[in-house]
């Protein structure tokens, strides 16, 4: 059955009208601005217990028809840890790798010398892991139940859509600025088939309640729209014991008896509340915003944050902290 889209039926003739009036011309022109030279780009994140890995490449002029970024493989790269330990990173399969594995609290400086370029510098402090106290399902509500599959005009399976409200209880360190990144991996295990199906859930944050003062709502954090990764800071709950509330959609399929398709043996939600340093937070936030506005004429342009001196990119630091919530089926 063909569905007619209401807005399309309305918008298309209006656009046609507009085009009649706004007779426009599009043409290729010569770029008359400054042709800027490529910049050294750094991509690296310090992860506790993982070796330091740094990708260095060159940016390209926006009208350059190359569809790749030239990797820099002749750089001299050093890290200095806590103003003491020093290591020179070695190139391995296009990535500069070291032996050092950072720990939460370490302060790391990065120095890169590329022939013909100014020295590139950056630094990062590895954040302490977030303090997750617990993760609970606060409520589960059936939204709708509808036929999922039909065969010969008969329904052979039904889908029930549930909305789960979850609460992630954390204790935020006081008197310091903290930045977080929250994600939820949905995991279905099919042990009989040695197979698991995992994907990131899109969810929106509801708000933050204060657990030490009767559950009062402190405010909203992050953005209201549904995303797979939510970035937020502790502006609203600095130093407090709080529950971060969010809703996820769960879909449960019930097949008619005798159906050959398998059902998962175990369902779980893997919640990862990452601690970020400030540069990583600003970089990821601005990068996401930049992606949203690329082709939007009505939105202000976004400058992606960088903490690289004499270059661009990110030298960040992230500490993971995961908790798994198993669901009964």
Partner 1 sequence: MYLFLHILFLIKCTFCFFDYTLNNYNYLMKKIILMLMLVLSTGLSAQFYTISGYLTDGKSGESLINASVFDHRSRKGTVSNEYGFFSITLPAGETQLQFTYVGFQTEQRNFTLRKDTVINIRFQESITLQEITVTGHQKITGVQSTQMSAVEVPIAQIKTVPTLFGEADLIKALQLLPGVQAGSEGSTGMYVRGGGPDENLFLLDGIPVYNINHMAGFFSVFNPDAVKNVTLYKGNFPARFGGRLSSVIDVRMNDGNNKEIRGNLSVGIISSKLNIEGPLFSEKTTFNVSARRTYFDILAQPILAAVAKAEQGDGYDGSLSAGYYFYDLNGKISHKFSDTDRLYLSLYMGDDAIYAKFRSRYRETDQLKSTEHGKLDWDWGNIVTSARWNHVINNRLFMNSTLAYTRYRFNLYVGSRSEEIRKNPPSNTYTDYMVGYKSGIEDYTAKVDFDYAPHPDHDVKFGANYTYHTFRPGVSVARNEIKYNNEIIKTDTMIGDKNVFSHETMAYAEDNISLGYALKLNVGLHYSVFNVQRETYHSLQPRISMRWLLNDRLSVKAGYAAMSQYVHLLSNSSVSLPTDLWVPVTKRIEPMRSHQYSAGIFYNFRDLIDFSVEGYYKSMHNLIEYRDGASFLGSTTGWEDKVAMGDGWAYGLEVLAQKSFGKTTGWIGYTWAKAERKFDRPGQEINYGRVFPAKYDRRHDFSLVLSHKFSDRFDLSGTWVISSGNTGTLALQQFEGTSVPGDDYTWQSDLNHISSRNNYRFNPYHRMDIGMNFHKQKTNGVRTWNISIYNLYNNNNPFMVYPSETWEPVPSTNPGQYTEYTSRKVFKQISIFPIMPSLTYSYKW
Q: Which stretch binds partner 1 (CB under 8 A): 26-34, 83-91, 98-106, 130-138?
A: 26-34
Instruction: Show the site string, 190-219: x = touches partner 1 by CB under 8 A, - = not.
Output: --------xxx-------------------
Q: Quick one: 72 or 211, whose CB is closer to partner 1?
A: 72
Q: What angle do CA 234, 237, 239 make, to 5 degrees?
A: 90
Q: Which stretch binds partner 1 (CB under 8 A): 9-17, 83-91, 172-180, 243-251?
A: 9-17
Instruction: Show the site string, 215-254: x = touches partner 1 by CB under 8 A, - = not.
Output: ----------------------------------------
- Footprint on residues 265-294 left by partner 1 (CB under 8 A): 284, 286-287, 289-294
Backbone φ and ψ of 120, nearest 5°? -100, 130
Q: Could you give the CA distance from residue 250 to residue 201 in angstroms, rounded to a whole number? A: 9
Look up residue 138 and give its two tokens: 């606060």
**Residues 6 or more apart whose Cβ sits within 8 Å of residue 2:** none
Q: Quick one: 155 or 174, whose CB is closer to partner 1?
A: 155
Least distance between partner 1 and beta carbon 273 (Å): 13
**Residues 6 or more apart whose Cβ sits within 8 Å of residue 299:** 292, 293
Which of 59, 61, 88 lies closest to 72, judged by CA? 59
Which of 130, 128, 126 lies closest to 242, judged by CA? 130
Q: Could you give the CA distance from residue 151 to residue 133 in angstroms, rounded to a whole number? A: 48
One residue of 99, 152, 175, 303 binding partner 1 per CB under 8 A: 303
Query: Residue 93, interface with partner 1 (CB under 8 A)?
Result: no
One residue of 156, 185, 236, 267 binding partner 1 per CB under 8 A: 185
Q: Quick one: 264 or 313, whose CB is closer to partner 1?
A: 313
One residue of 111, 125, 218, 302 binding partner 1 per CB under 8 A: 302
**Residues 6 or more apart whose Cβ sits within 8 Å of residue 81:** 87, 100, 102, 106, 107, 108
One residue of 175, 194, 257, 297 binding partner 1 per CB under 8 A: 297
Q: Which stretch binds partner 1 (CB under 8 A): 37-45, 86-94, 115-123, 260-268?
A: 37-45
Instruction: Show the site string, 141-160: x = touches partner 1 by CB under 8 A, - = not.
Output: ---x-x--------------
Q: Which stretch binds partner 1 (CB under 8 A): 105-113, 134-142, 201-209, 312-320?
A: 312-320
Q: Are the C-beta atoms of 160 and 329 separated by less than 8 Å?
A: no
Query: Residue 65, interface with partner 1 (CB under 8 A)?
Result: yes
Dihedral, CA atoms, 193, 142, 221, 300, nearest 10 degrees?
90
**Residues 6 or more apart whose Cβ sits within 8 Å of residue 272:** 181, 182, 183, 184, 185, 320, 321, 322
Q: Are the C-beta atoms of 3 and 274 separated by less than 8 Å?
A: no
Least distance between partner 1 and beta carbon 17 (Å): 5
- Footprint on residues 69-88 left by partner 1 (CB under 8 A): 69
Report how many residues bind partner 1 under the rule CB under 8 A: 77
- Give the residue carrying structure tokens 């085009």: 19
């Amino acid at each position: 059955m063909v569905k007619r889209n209401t807005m399309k039926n309305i918008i298309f003739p209006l656009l046609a009208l507009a085009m009649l009036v706004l007779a426009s011309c599009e043409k290729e022109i010569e770029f008359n601005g400054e042709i800027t030279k490529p910049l050294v780009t750094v991509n690296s994140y310090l992860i506790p217990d993982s070796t330091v890995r740094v990708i260095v490449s060159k940016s390209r002029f926006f009208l350059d028809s190359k569809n790749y970024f030239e990797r820099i493989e002749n750089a001299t790269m050093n890290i200095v840890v806590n103003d003491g330990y020093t290591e020179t990173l070695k190139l391995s399969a296009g990535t500069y790798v070291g032996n050092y594995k950072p720990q939460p609290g370490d302060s790391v400086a990065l120095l890169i010398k590329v022939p013909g370029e100014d020295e590139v510098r950056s630094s990062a402090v590895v954040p302490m892991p977030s303090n997750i106290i617990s993760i609970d399902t606060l409520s589960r509500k059936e939204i709708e139940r509808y036929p999922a599959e039909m065969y010969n005009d008969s329904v052979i399976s039904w889908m029930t859509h549930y909305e789960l409200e979850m609460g992630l209880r954390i204790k935020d360190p006081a008197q310091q600025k903290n930045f977080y990144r929250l994600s939820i991996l949905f995991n279905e295990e099919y042990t009989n088939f040695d197979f698991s199906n995992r994907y990131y859930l899109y969810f929106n944050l509801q708000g933050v309640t204060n657990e030490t003062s009767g559950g009062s709502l402190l405010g909203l954090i992050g953005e209201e729209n549904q995303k797979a990764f939510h970035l937020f800071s502790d502006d609203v709950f600095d130093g407090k014991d709080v529950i971060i509330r969010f809703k996820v959609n769960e879909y449960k399929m019930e097949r008619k008896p005798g159906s050959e398709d398998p059902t998962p043996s175990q369902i779980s939600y893997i919640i990862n509340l990452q601690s970020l340093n400030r540069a990583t937070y600003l970089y990821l936030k601005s990068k996401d915003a930049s992606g949203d506005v690329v082709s939007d004429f009505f939105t202000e342009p976004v400058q992606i944050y960088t903490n690289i001196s004499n270059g661009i990119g990110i030298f960040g630091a992230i500490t993971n902290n995961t908790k798994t919530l198993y669901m009964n089926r």
